Amino acid sequence: MRTCFLFCTAFLFSCSEQHSEYDSLVINEFLTSNTLGLVLDEMGQAEDYIEIYNKSNDPVNLRDVYLSDDSTNLMVFKFPDTVIEPNGFILVWADDDSHQGSLHANFKLSANKGDEIILSSNNRIIDRIQFFPHNNNPQARLPDISFGRNSDGDTLWTRQKKLTPGAPNSGP
């Protein structure tokens, strides 16, 4: 009887879904055409951005987390050894200029051609969003208008009524 119990317990563990400490992270908001300079990076430059949100009540260290715009290479930009606080935000500048700081991605987003943003760890996709050029899709990107989750961590994506990098989303 004891042998059967141990076998059944081992079987249950091997069949359970794999979860990660990073499952609470989501891509929360992004801006692909910062033409008016409504948001500036620490160098005073108008750059596009990607906001990551931690929807859990626990801090998460991002040391093994990556951002990419290429589904064939999930490890384009590696986050520095930094912590995102519970229900907190972290902003990455998508300016293809990693020399400006540790939170400047080495890729840009394309508002004109469409693109995707992928958040991953250990070659496992945590979150992904695809977007398309303005003229091909009503949910597309317009200059100086961010696209984000209706409310932080929500599943519904909408155009935001105002830019909210590093702060709660404003909704439609």
Each as own residue / partner, the long-range contacts of residues 157-166 (CB below 8 Å, 24 or more positions apart, any chain) are 157/129, 160/29, 163/31, 163/38, 163/39, 164/29, 164/51, 165/29, 165/31, 165/39, 165/49, 165/51, 165/89, 165/91, 166/51, 166/89, 166/90, 166/91
Q: What is the pLDDT of residues 33-56, one digit of tens each?
A: 888 888 999 999 999 999 999 999
What are 80-106's pLDDT values in tens digits?
999 999 999 999 999 989 889 899 999
The string of pLDDT tens digits covering residues 141-167 is 577 888 899 889 889 888 888 899 999
When the pLDDT of each residue in the chain is averaged and rounded to a whole number, the result is: 84
**pLDDT of res. 144:** 83
Residue 143, number of CB atoms within 10 A of its CB: 12
Mean pLDDT of 64-77: 95
Q: Which of 49-63, 97-111, 127-141 has the lowest mean pLDDT?
A: 127-141
Instruction: Give the CATH architecture of domain 21-159.
Output: Sandwich (2.60)
